[in-house]
């Protein structure tokens, strides 16, 4: 079965935010005090999440990504991974994490059926890591990356938000890391999202900066197929590299025409676009599979042609959906 949106784009990918809580406080994601946390009762239970996964899988969803907030802070996550991995039709089960808790959970996650991880890492400098995450320990994130490689949660991808004046001086260091280790770094453009002051306007830098910097350093980027299948990143190799470089530019060169994703927020709303306000709660139809599948189709039917950020950049005034931070919707 195939699932298409109103524009005829095929949808086979569901991203599920299982919590808005986190053990870090990244500057681009939340304010100093974190976010106002949703109460446990208002978050979908694993049983409820499974109803959405099963209904979606019957319609053609074959890839699932668990995200948040930090998914590894939610209790009994291994159980959820085990249940999702057992759903017929689910071929790819991935997780986005800050990686700091992976040394504790990677082995159990792999055994439960998790295929791979994306780990967020914006710097290779321990002091800067603490500043960006406000409280994180660089050594823990690095250990998380090593553990993910060790337990074969591959391809291991790193998510790196490029920030002018913060980590733009480290591009070559990241390229060197890709030469030495089988890691796939995906540079992401800084998005203006959430209602806290993130210094977006002073730190945004288009990803053409990466291409120029690599070329200048004698490490030109050569296009290659994406490791681990399709997605919004353009993928490149560098001379002598064990891993690859991905560029995800939601702003300067958006990828809406190939978007294949649907989102389920921690509070239980289906969202067809990260940067659009429309969403529909699943709770009223959770006990009626046909109605739930109808809701999935309805939400996709209303998916915009492109996100507001791509359309005119004025989302903050006219698109309240963008005012909710990434940790709430699920990055």
Kindly tell me which of 160 and 293 has the beta carbon lying closer to ligand SAM: 160
Q: How many residues bind ligand SF4 (CB under 6 A)?
A: 13
Give the Cα separation of 301 and 278 in Å (integer): 12
Contact set for ligand SF4, span 1-20 (CB under 6 A): none
Under the criterion CB under 6 A, does residue 68 sit at the interface with ligand SAM?
A: yes
Binds 185: which of ligand SAM, ligand SF4, none (CB < 5-8 Å by kind) = none
DSSP state of 111: H
Give the Cα separation of 244 and 237 in Å (integer): 5
Contact set for ligand SAM, span 29-58 (CB under 6 A): 29
Instruction: Pick the closest to residue 118 from 174, 83, 71, 81 (CA basis).
Output: 71
Give the Cα separation of 168 and 233 in Å (integer): 19
Kindly tell me which of 5 and 70 has the beta carbon lying closer to ligand SAM: 70
Q: Output the smallest distance, CB 223 to ligand SF4, in A.
A: 28
Give the Cα separation of 80 and 142 in Å (integer): 25
Are 244 and 287 in contact by the 8 Å Cβ rule? The answer is no
Site string for ligand SAM, 105-144 (x = CB under 6 A): ---------------x------------------------
Under the criterion CB under 6 A, does residue 14 sit at the interface with ligand SAM?
A: no
Q: Output the smallest distance, CB 328 to ligand SF4, in A.
A: 9
Which among 2-10, 174-182, 189-197, 269-277 is the span making contact with ligand SAM, rule CB under 6 A?
189-197
User: Any idea how long the chain is?
Assistant: 331
Residue 67, strand partner residues? 17
Under the criterion CB under 6 A, does residue 98 sit at the interface with ligand SF4?
A: yes
Are 275 and 308 in contact by the 8 Å Cβ rule? The answer is yes
Residue of minimal CB distance from ligand SAM?
331
Residue whose structure tokens are 């490791």: 227
Buried b (16+ CB within 10 A) or exposed e, 272-297: bbbbbbebbebeebbeeeeebbebbb
Give the Cα separation of 225 and 244 in Å (integer): 10
Under the criterion CB under 6 A, does residue 28 sit at the interface with ligand SAM?
A: yes
Position among 18, 24, 114, 266 found at the interface with ligand SF4 (CB under 6 A):
24
Residue 6's CB is within 10 A of a number of other CB atoms, namely: 13
Residue 17, strand partner residues? 67
Q: Output the smallest distance, CB 230 to ligand SAM, in A.
A: 18
Under the criterion CB under 6 A, does residue 122 sit at the interface with ligand SF4?
A: no
Q: Output the smallest distance, CB 54 to ligand SF4, in A.
A: 27
Give the list of residues 6+ apart from residue 95 with CB closer than 8 angstroms, or none. Answer: 65, 66, 67, 71, 81, 109, 114, 116, 117, 118
Under the criterion CB under 6 A, does residue 274 sit at the interface with ligand SF4?
A: no
Under the criterion CB under 6 A, does residue 35 sit at the interface with ligand SF4?
A: no
**Could you check whether the bond before residue 263 is cis, i.e. omega within 30 degrees of 0?**
no
User: Which residues of this protein are in contact with ligand SAM, per CB under 6 A?
Assistant: 22, 28-29, 67-70, 96-98, 120, 159, 161, 188, 190-191, 193, 326-327, 331
**Which residues lie near ligand SF4 (CB under 6 A)?**
22, 24-26, 29-30, 68-70, 98, 120, 326-327
């Amino acid at each position: 079965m195939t699932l298409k949106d109103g524009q005829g784009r095929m949808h086979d990918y569901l991203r599920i935010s299982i919590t808005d809580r986190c053990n870090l406080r990244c500057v681009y994601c939340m304010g100093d005090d974190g976010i106002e946390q949703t109460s446990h009762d208002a978050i979908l239970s694993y049983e409820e999440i499974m109803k959405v996964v099963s209904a979606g899988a019957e319609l053609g969803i074959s890839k699932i990504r668990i995200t948040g907030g930090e998914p590894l802070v939610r209790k009994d996550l291994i159980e959820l991974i085990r249940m999702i991995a057992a759903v017929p039709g689910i071929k790819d089960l991935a997780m986005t994490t800050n990686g700091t808790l992976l040394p504790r959970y990677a082995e159990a996650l792999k055994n439960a059926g998790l295929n791979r991880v994306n780990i967020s890492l914006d710097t290779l400098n321990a002091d800067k890591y603490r500043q960006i995450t406000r409280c994180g320990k660089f050594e823990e994130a690095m250990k998380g990356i090593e553990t993910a490689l060790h337990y074969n949660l591959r391809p291991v991808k790193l998510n790196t938000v490029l920030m002018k004046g913060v980590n733009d001086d480290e591009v070559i260091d990241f390229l060197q890391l890709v030469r030495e280790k089988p890691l796939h770094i995906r540079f992401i453009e800084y998005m203006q999202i959430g209602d806290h002051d993130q210094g977006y306007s002073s730190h945004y830098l288009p990803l053409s900066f990466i291409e120029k910097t690599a070329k200048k350093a004698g490490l030109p980027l050569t296009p290659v197929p994406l490791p681990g299948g399709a997605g919004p990143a353009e993928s490149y190799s560098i001379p002598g590299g064990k891993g690859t470089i991905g560029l995800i530019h939601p702003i300067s060169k958006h990828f809406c025409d190939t978007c294949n994703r649907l989102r389920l927020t921690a509070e239980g709303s289906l969202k067809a676009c990260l940067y659009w306000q429309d969403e529909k709660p699943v709770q009223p139809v959770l006990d009626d599979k046909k109605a739930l599948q109808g809701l999935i189709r309805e939400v996709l039917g209303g998916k915009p042609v492109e996100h507001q950020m791509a359309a005119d950049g004025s989302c903050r005034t006219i698109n309240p959906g963008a005012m909710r931070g990434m940790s709430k919707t699920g990055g």
